[in-house]
Amino acid sequence: MRISVIGCGYVGLVTGTCLAELGHHVVCTDNDPERMASLKAGVVPIYEPYLDGMLAANCRANRLSFSIDAGEAVRTAEAIFICVGTPPLETGDTDLSAIDNVARLIAAEARTPKLVVEKSTVPAQTGQQLKRQLGHYRRNGGAEFRVASNPEFLREGTAVEDFLHPDRIVIGVDEEATERQLREIYRPILEGRFHCPMHLGGCPPTHSPELLVTTINSAELIKHASNSFLALKISYANVIADLCEKVGADIKEVTRAMGLDSRIGPRFLAAGLGFGGFCLPKDVQAFIRLAERTGVDFSMLKEAERVNKRRIDIFLEKIRQALWVLKDKQVGVLGLAFKANTDDIRFAPSLEVIRRLLAEGAQVRAYDREAMDRTSVILPQIQCCREPYEVARDADALLILTEWEEFRQLDWERIHGLMARPLVLDGRNLLEPKAMMKRGFEYHSFGQPVETVTARFVPPQISKVSEASVSA
């Protein structure tokens, strides 16, 4: 099928590349000339595992191309996927101006019938507005349009795998012809016959995903409801972590037992600095505003948002208690991206932690293999290091702010020898407290009772003196 993708951001690039991988002929277009020039030159502007190799392979196979001529992309397509940004307004509402601009473009340029698919995350009832706007902008005797909602459930860091082997595919339609066309687009995935190429591991799908056919309004609501529930789950785990610290329980033991209950499940029950990134905070705000506009009391979601914002305050207090005074202290930071396996720093908790440290006079060095260049533009005051051990050198404290697997595998004995004070504050509960204490670190995390991770800590040199005294 001939498909055009409007918007070459995170969702658009993954969507366009993966649709080409399924065998469709895809043209991607965007109004950012610099981004388009990079893509046409084969340079992928974001870090996402497997995306660059798959994009290059499909360009070579002539299934994927990039064009600055948005009008031509509309005219040649049978189906048009809208993947433009829908950022939050100051009110918390969703800015839909880009969607409206795309509607104008499609209505003006289309000469034949088009399937218009919402892929961007939008509030419920946006699809109905989109249909009306396409009708308003359409020229006399212009093309007919069918509109569908096909929300994305891509996780940064695993987006390519999520697209090709999804848990479910949701399509919101109001016509059988629209459903048939979308089924055809996703047929290789739905029939379970799509195998990942070798550069993705060459693994066949473990199951065929379920296709959920709903109304357009329901499909739009499913996306916001799903993301907001994940936010609730994260905030719930964080409150439980705070309670664990007060009563002497271990958050990992508690959430592991909770996750074994099939009604609950283990995912997104990880305590720490809370959620960040562009999607969850934005979608929570938009869902709250939708509830307010419709007169529905969604106080629990407001509380989840409040709990999430408080995580940084709580973490900073842990740092202050450990270091006493932050002014002129050398603080090392491991991790800048809002989560592992991405270079995305939008709404990353790490950036707010660093800003607060700088405001109190701390000296900050940081390392993140993928996100340092983006961070340097926003926070030029910090020193970005090209390897993690340089961050630890002469540091009074080392903070873990992103759960990169790389940090778990570091030579922590070496780090201990490099630090001025072997103090680690783990904002992602990445490491094991007992192992860190055994190596001689003072270790703080979320949801570990203080007496089990710090009170028993005795610096190695003092331990030797104590043992000698006992022998005497």
Residues in CB range of 438: below 8 A, 6 or more apart:
none
Supply 68's token pair: 């600055």
Tell me the residue length of the chain: 472
Q: What is the largest CA-CA distance in the chain?
A: 101
Q: Among all chains, which residue has been given the structure tokens 């003092």?
A: 462
What is the distance between the alpha carbons of residues 84 and 8, in angstroms, rounded to a whole number? Answer: 8
- The answer to whether 151 and 121 are in contact (CB under 8 A) is yes
- Asked about 279 being catalytic, the answer comes back as yes
| Catalytic, out of 28, 279, 384, 385 | 279
Provide Rg for the chain, Cα atoms.
25
**Beta-strand pair 363-367/383-384:** parallel
Supply 14's token pair: 């993954």
The Cα angle at residue 307 between residues 305 and 313, in degrees rounded to 5: 120
Residues in CB range of 129: below 8 A, 6 or more apart:
96
Edge-to-edge order in the sheet of strand 397-400: 383-384, 363-367, 330-334, 397-400, 423-426, 442-444
Backbone angles phi, psi at 436, to 5 degrees: -70, -40
Quote the DSSP letter at residue 440. Answer: T
Q: Among all chains, which residue has been given the structure tokens 């099928």?
A: 1
Query: Any bridge partners for residue 88, and if so which?
Result: 94
Q: Which H/E stretch holds residue 384?
A: strand 383-384
Name the amino acid, one letter, at 404.
Answer: W
Backbone angles phi, psi at 34, to 5 degrees: -65, -45
Q: How many CB atoms lie within 10 A of CB 245?
A: 20
What is the distance between the alpha carbons of residues 387 and 366, in angstroms, rounded to a whole number? Answer: 9
Q: How many CB atoms lie within 10 A of CB 87?
A: 11
Catalytic residues: 279
